[in-house]
Chains A and B, each alone.
Chain A
Amino acid sequence: MSVTYETHTHDVLVIGAGGAGLRAAIEVSAQGLSVGLVCKSLLGKAHTVMAEGGAAAALGNVDPQDGWQTHFKDTMKGGKFMNNWRMAELHAKQAPDRINELQQWGAVFDRTKDGKISQRAFGGHTYKRLAHVGDRTGLEMIRTLQDKGVHSGIDVYMECTVSQLLKDGDGRVNGAFGYWRESGRFVVFNAKAVILATGGTGKAWKITSNSWEYTGDGQTLAYDAGADLLDMEFIQFHPTGMVWPPGVRGILVTEGVRGEGGILRNKDGKRFMFDYLPPETKHTFAETEEECERWVKATLANEQTDARRPPELSTRDNVAKAIYYEVQAGRGSPHGGVFLDISYQDADRIKRKLPSMYHQFKELADVDITKQPMEVGPTMHYTMGGIRVNPETQMTAVPGLFAAGECAAGLHGANRLGGNSLSDLVVFGRLAGLGAVEFAKSVEGTPKADEAQVKAAAQELLAPFERTGEGPYEVHRDLQEVMQHKVGIMRTEEDLQKALVELDAIEQRVAKVSVEGSIQFNPGWHLAQDLKNMIVVSKAVAKCALERRESRGGHTRVDFPNYDEKLANVNALIRKGEDGSMQYRTEATPEMPPELKKLFEEEKK
């Protein structure tokens, strides 16, 4: 078979055009190198548009006592110290500059009374820290980056899927192979460095807040190229997804609702979160409903208060588990969730601060959130684990391959604080851009794709048309069932063992999937490609979840409900073995330097 394809050559290729990919591409361009930006969807539709609550940055505009040190500590504590401390430090220090930069590029954040960028409260953050625009912060960010990007000389390849990375004889990444979704035609990108910014993996689960694009592409591309995947067991189940109607089950209800004073109650009307606060953080939350009320009052008036935060603002892993337990105990709402109520507040303010939520419930569930409570329950939301990167340069174990945003790992540890992903995107998107530029400058000559690799990639892509057998949608449904029920919010040894066996069987089916129709804009064919990535990521998550015999952050083992001190400093790593099998190993977490350790000791005094 002779393969025909078009070729594009850039210094740096960025795969993924959400917040991290766009920010990376803007940086590469600003440094004077040529950059191509590939996206599976149309530009500006990436999952970043779905981010609602805000971007965490210690600007200190509302709570002046905030600073990077507190943000750093909150992030490490939220992540149960599984985070890479250096990434958490860089993030906390650089986030304010990145937010100000977005403002300079035209982002219109909500304002405080004295005209600064407004900041709101969020789970796990000591102070009001989230720069926001109503509840559509992600849209504001991606639109700002998109508009900046289109004037930055970036070549954008829309609706284009990369199916494989290409490497040179020295094992360096030197490009990528893919196809145009519209026509099915092949395309080869030559590049001196490649940045992965492809987001998460949620579509492997049945109930998820994620869009169809979240199929673990970057993680799998990196894994196949020889990079490490880190701590894949840490999956975030967001506490509040919609539970009804069935068609929208899993769609996100922003944590902003709780940040603005939303109250969680069970079917008996009990405010149950008071009972689920972990002993180590309990003292930082309000003890009575009266104290919560004072906090809300001050928050609405944008004033300082000595009242502590309501218990609804505990970290996401806590709140998700609390809701799960309430429902299990038979105290759930009619559609299997709990109630989230903001209707006691002024209706006009709710509509101004949470406009998308107001419309989402009104139109999709016939619920007026200014008059009635919402019904909510946990939904698969975020992958804390992902591609292991160097914290300074964002380079993976494969020379020339970089990663940023949700597909990369390290910043969030075992549990991500809300608002930290939007700042993650711009902080590490920029650093990945700088890292890739530095690497690309060191590469001599023009990268050229290896014909044999291209031919093999093309054959693999077309194989589903040659086969007859079951279609990709059936296999996808079965994969989602396994992940939802056996690798979900509550995990056991038995379930995980079974899941791994079942995932092996599904992997065999993925390899035999057939598609019908032509190569022109064919969603069945696209899904067949995505399935190959979802199965790799699913196996990695199940394997790591089986090995971590304790409960920590987003990973909960019913059979090992407590922390295991022996695992407190252990990162999990997945790599593709020589024989193609999935290899698991552990490594000690990097040790924090004394000056950072001191921050936590000072607190104890």
Chain B
Amino acid sequence: MAQSATHQTSTSNGQAKTATFRVFRGDAQGGQVQDYQVPVESGMVVLDAMHYIQGFQSPDLAVRWNCKAAKCGSCSAEVNGKPSLMCKTRLDHLDLSQPIMVQPLKTFPLIRDLVTDVSWNYEVNKTIQPFTPPDENAKDWRYFQNDVDRPQEFRKCIECFLCQDVCHVLRNHNQKDQFYGPRWMIRLASLEMHPMDRADRIPFIKEKAGIGLCNITKCCTEVCPEEIRITDNAIIPLKERVVDRYYDPMMWFLRKLGFIR
């Protein structure tokens, strides 16, 4: 991660400073990186540079974005090799003396330029048993803030899928058929830890979602723009629940005897 601060916006002879952006252009058939010179203004982010390229140089540069405020999670890309939200990656945190590499997410199939096909994630979500409340009249539910601090942390997720992109089970081993990835682990955790939820997803988390494949490298937590402690607060506690259920000999014995379910 190149992070030398270069704050000046103009050179000593008064000319506007420019930066080189080395942007991937191409589709599933192939492509190459292309260099663009972009004038740098104070406070600029990588997405501003992509918009400049669209507006003045390559109007067909494919980029996804919506909110430009790190709230929608649309503009995910790999900036200098690091999975990042382009709207949140400031140029003055990058070394502008070198070209800035902007590439699409590697874990998902490429559509065009910086846009990838993330539809797998939406298919996964459909298989997760949704929130399942008790049958009683729901009008007067009471639960307390400290009951929901943890699930609220997971519900901050903006579905940028950077955690999915960086997860080596998905990225290097392409085990999408066996492992749901960190995004869906926090979704599962938010449901399992909701005080009003009545479903039991532990067998599902073990088998279908494949939590055992996570070996806790914490890469997902590192790239999360919402600073959700994915590994510590969601994945490890879920692993513990799976272990309690399936691998704790005492629990197994008590279950066998019918003392617990």
Contact = CB atoms under 8 A, between A and B. Distances in A.
Contacts of B158: 49, 139
Does more than half of chain B's interface fall in helix, strand or loop, or is it mixed?
loop
B63 interface: yes
Given A150-B125, A515-B60, A521 B69 contact: no
A523 B63 contact: yes
Contact of A151 (B130, B155, B157, B194): B130
A521 B111 contact: yes
B156 interface: yes
Contacts of B194: 106, 108
A105 B41 contact: no
B261 interface: no
Given A42-B64, A100-B139, A515-B60, A359 B70 contact: yes
Interface in A343-379: 355-356, 359-360, 363-365
B67 A49 contact: yes
Contact of B70 (A360, A524, A527): A360
A290 interface: no
Interface string B190-204: 110010010000000
B143 A45 contact: no
Interface in B11-57: 27, 41-45, 47-48, 54-56
Interface of B: 27, 41-45, 47-48, 54-56, 59-74, 88, 90, 111-113, 115, 117-119, 122, 125-126, 130-131, 133, 138-145, 147-148, 151-152, 155-159, 190-191, 194, 197, 227
A115 B142 contact: yes
A213 interface: yes
Contact of A247 (B43, B62, B139): B43
B59 A517 contact: yes
A594 interface: no
B60 A518 contact: yes
A520 B66 contact: no
B145 A111 contact: yes
Contact of B159 (A44, A106, A252, A524): A44
Contacts of A147: 125, 130-131
B7 to A, nearest CB: 10
Contacts of B141: 103, 115
A520 B133 contact: no
Given A140-B155, A473-B59, A520 B27 contact: yes
A222 B85 CA distance: 35
Contacts of A553: none
Interface residues of A, number: 65
A47 B66 contact: yes
Contact of A133 (B61, B63, B71, B152): B152
16 contacts: A45-B74, A45-B159, A50-B67, A103-B141, A104-B133, A110-B145, A115-B142, A116-B142, A147-B130, A182-B115, A211-B65, A211-B66, A246-B41, A471-B59, A520-B111, A524-B54
B227 to A, nearest CB: 8
B144 A111 contact: yes
Interface in A26-59: 41-47, 49-50
Interface of A: 41-47, 49-50, 100, 103-106, 108, 110-111, 114-116, 133-134, 136, 139-140, 143, 147-148, 150-151, 156, 158, 182, 211-213, 244-248, 251-252, 355-356, 359-360, 363-365, 471-473, 477, 515-518, 520-525, 527
Nearest to B48: A247
A212 B47 CA distance: 13
Contacts of B197: 106
Nearest to A249: B43
A525 to B, nearest CB: 7
Nearest to B112: A521
Contact of A45 (B66, B69, B156): B66
